[in-house]
Amino acid sequence: GRNIPFRYRKGRKTLDPDWPPFAMACEYHGEIPVPTVCIDNVAAARDAVNHLLELGHQRIAYVNGPSESPLCEDRLQGYEQALREAGLTVEPALIKQGDFTLASGYDCTAALLAAANPPTALFCANDEMAIGAMQACHAAGLSLPGDMSVVGFDDIGFAAYTHPRLTTVHQPRNRIGEQVMTMMLAMLAGNTPADSRIVLPHELVVRESSAARG
């Protein structure tokens, strides 16, 4: 979202009218309307955390992505909503700021595990950080999912080949690509309003990295 061409008019941020038509796939911008095809990241994160709650976990940590990302803010909101709806308190100590990389997932998880009252489950804002989190758990001598359950986000190709295989939120990448291209063609023909947004369904893919609290 940082590279979108903006202009400031009377203190308000607007799209540069000289920029060619464009649309966003998966990502979106919160300040101004940009044609977008995405999923409901709040609902998807809420589903991921509810899965862990249903397994009996109550100390669920969250490793977020970049704070400037609107979709990460939405995933954080979904995490907090699920906890509050379950009657649990959102603990700032259980929320760590990563940057979508494997290393940040590892480092954030290592810090969580070193705390006096560590979590029993982790939800990560993308699969790369979740894989890093799993490695940190292995390094600490924890079994997965016996000692720690982990859930990621995106369902990248590697998610089905980790050990154990990673539970994650699946985004319909092919459908998103098809829809955003259809939107672009409509925009070029002058038929799509500037504030259009298509929200596609997500799916929680449950694999072996998450299990009931022992």
CATH number of the domain bearing residue 161: 3.40.50.2300
Angle between helices 102-113 and 127-139 (to 10 degrees): 50
Our separate counts of H helices and E strands in the chain read 5, 11
In a domain, 135, yes or no: yes
d(C-alpha 185, C-alpha 179), whole Å: 10
For residue 36, what pLDDT is reported? 84
Could you tell me if 93 and 103 are in contact, meaning their C-beta atoms sit under 8 angstroms apart? Answer: no
Coil, strand or helix: which one is 8? strand
Torsions phi, psi for 74 (to 5 deg) = -70, -40
Give the whole-number percent of the chain exceeding pLDDT 90. 66
For residues 14 and 99, which has the higher predicted lDDT (pLDDT)?
Answer: 99
For residue 27, what pLDDT is reported? 73
In a domain, 103, yes or no: yes
Residue 77, Cβ density class (10 Å: 0-12 exposed, 13-18 middle, ≥19 buried): middle
How many domains, the chain? 1
And the tokens for 6? 């903006």
In a domain, 180, yes or no: no
In a domain, 31, yes or no: no
In a domain, 1, yes or no: no
Domain residue limits at 127: 41-170
Q: Is 212 left (phi over 0), alpha (psi -120 to 50) or beta?
A: beta
Closest CA to 166 of 209, 118, 110: 209
Integer angstrom CA distances of residue 73 from 36, 65, 80, 185, 190 = 17, 9, 11, 30, 32
Tell me the pLDDT tens digit for each residue of 119-135: 999 999 999 999 999 99
In a domain, 120, yes or no: yes
In a domain, 129, yes or no: yes
For residue 162, what pLDDT is reported? 97
In a domain, 165, yes or no: yes
Confidence of residue 87 (pLDDT cuts 50, 70, 90): very high
